[in-house]
Amino acid sequence: MKKYVYAVCAVVAISLLLLFPLLFQRAAVSSDHPDLPLKVKKKSDKGIYITWYVARTPKMLDHLLAQAKACGLNTIVVDAKFALTPPLLELLKKRGLTEKTVATADPWLSELTAKLHEQGFIVSARLVVFKDDHLALTRPDLAIKLPGGDYYRDLKGGKWGDPYSDEVRLYNELVAERAAASGVDEVQFDYIRFPAEGRAKNAYYPHKKEGVSRVDTICEFLAGVKKRLNRYNVSLAVDIFGIAAWQQPVDIKNLGQDLKKMAAYLDVLSPMLYPSHFHAGYDGYANPGNYPYHFMSQGVKKSLDILSGEATTLVPWIQGFNLRSPNYGPNYILEQVRAAKELGVDSFLVWNASNRYETTFAALRRR
């Protein structure tokens, strides 16, 4: 009897030894990207923006998180591109980026995201897309230039990658994938446009394609990134100039932002409706910075009209800083929130480049 049992065990063991290599072989060739666990898609709701520096400074970060939570905020938008680019820039330098390049999670962003999730926050990774000094310096051939060969620079001295370039778009797709792989809930694109400042009219685009418009190019990038990130089930969001909500033909053509066409790829649209950023005399107001209610109300109304029939959610940016705004204070914040809410938009994000949100927190505690 024992000999029989031993014989059966031996047969089973041999069978397993023969089968295991086949199982491992199937796993190895199944996909570069194994299936991910199903994740509920979340969008920005009510939140603030934090810089990369603040996100890496525990004392400052913890203070802001505590204040934000006390005010009923539930979303943190964090600058993330600087942390995500080093390995991709190295590949770009070696001309090694391909459609098969696998983008892996970033340890720092993964840890930060886990911490924010533990505290109940939705995490949106802000990625500045085509304005990119590091890309331009790493690969000058991919940068927007001026006729003499110098770099095009915007009013802040920033260099830009050429949106027409397949490599530039792929690079940014992979940056977005690194963010998604790090567990964030939303990938938020800023500067997803063509430059319009300074000597932009004289700019030379080395990778421009005949018959391909700026609008086509921006939509091509969104289509590519949507396909690449689909498996992560993250939300896709785009920041736009506040003035883009007025959708003047000249702005659509110059910026490449046709909001109706872009909306087909987006979960969230976030117009930056900062009153102080509209030029003097706009909409008949000598100093737009004095009229937070009007510009938020008009911008939200126009954005909703554009998004009519689309599944895209409107989450406007509001002005949380003092610039050409003599009446800036808690009421200034609340007027913007009220203007959006009266039009049925209860979500908002507050921008302050220095992350000084004392006025914002004071306002929101009064809601």
Predicted confidence (pLDDT) per residue in 48-89, tens digit: 999 999 999 999 999 999 999 999 999 999 999 999 999 999
State residue 3's pLDDT score. Answer: 43
**Pairwise CA distance, residues 47 & 69, whole Å:** 9
Percent of the chain having pLDDT more than 70?
Answer: 90
pLDDT in tens, 218-238: 999 999 999 999 999 999 999
Query: Which token pair is 310?
Result: 């689309």
For residues 85 and 12, membership in a common domain is answered with no
Q: Are 206 and 148 in contact (CB under 8 A)?
A: no
15 and 141 inside one domain: no
* Predicted pLDDT at 25: 28
Q: Are residues 51 and 27 in the same domain?
A: no
Whether residue 179 is found in the same domain as residue 203: yes
Shared domain for 116 and 228, answered yes or no, is: yes
Q: What per-residue string of b and e applies to 16-53 under the rule 16 or more CB within 10 Å gives b?
A: eeeeeeeeeeeeeeeeeeeeeeeeeebbbbbbbbbbee
pLDDT per position as a tens digit, 112-166: 999 999 999 999 999 999 999 999 999 999 999 999 999 999 999 999 999 999 9
Indicate the number of domains in the chain.
Answer: 2
Clarify whether residues 101 and 154 are in a common domain. yes
**What is the pLDDT confidence band of residue 309, given thresholds at 50, 70 and 90?**
confident
Quote the domain boundaries for residue 25.
Answer: 1-31
At residue 367, the pLDDT reads: 82
pLDDT digits (tens, 9 = 90+) for 14-32: 343 333 333 322 222 223 5
Residue 331: give its domain's CATH number: 3.20.20.80
Contact at 8 Å (CB) between 45 and 75?
Answer: yes
For the cut 50, the answer to whether the pLDDT of residue 344 exceeds it is yes
- Specify whether 4 is located in the same domain as 123: no
Do 223 and 356 have their domain in common? yes
* Whether residue 61 is found in the same domain as residue 24: no
**Domain contains 263:** yes
What's the mean pLDDT in 85-98? 97
Taking the C-alpha atoms of residue 244 and residue 271, their distance in angstroms, rounded to an integer, is 8
Q: What is the pTM of this model?
A: 0.89
